[in-house]
Amino acid sequence: MDEKEKQEISLVGRLFSLEALLLLMGLFSLGSGIYTGELTQLFWGVMILVGGVVLHFVRKKDWKKHWAEEEARRQTLQERQKEKKRE
């Protein structure tokens, strides 16, 4: 497989990713709610769009690094508590 084929697969993968589908559904719901004037469709359109944006940022975060930092914080806190008990 050459580089161009990998780029095409990557592009197709991004177009049909979960975030993209959520954003398209949110835009469709928002647009149809504006067109028909139904508040329920507007509400769900906004909620779907917000959920898609949140999902994008959650997936983008480096969770291994995050949990390693949390573990280091927990260990330093435990060490401080042990030092306080010794005093």
**pLDDT tens profile 12-23:** 666 567 778 888
CA–chain centroid gap for 43, Å, is 20
| Closest among 59, 38, 36, 40 to 48, alpha carbons compared | 40
> Rounded CA gap, 57 and 72, in Å?
23
Based on the structure, what is the number of domains in the chain? Answer: 1
Tens digits of residue pLDDT in 35-79: 999 999 999 999 999 988 888 788 777 778 888 889 999 999 999
* CA dihedral angle for residue 64, residue 66, residue 69, residue 71, rounded to 10 degrees: -70
Q: Does some domain include residue 78?
A: no
> Rounded CA gap, 31 and 48, in Å?
12
CB under 8 Å to 10, separation ≥6 — which residues? none
Q: Does some domain include residue 15?
A: yes
Query: For residue 47, what are the domain limits?
Result: 3-61
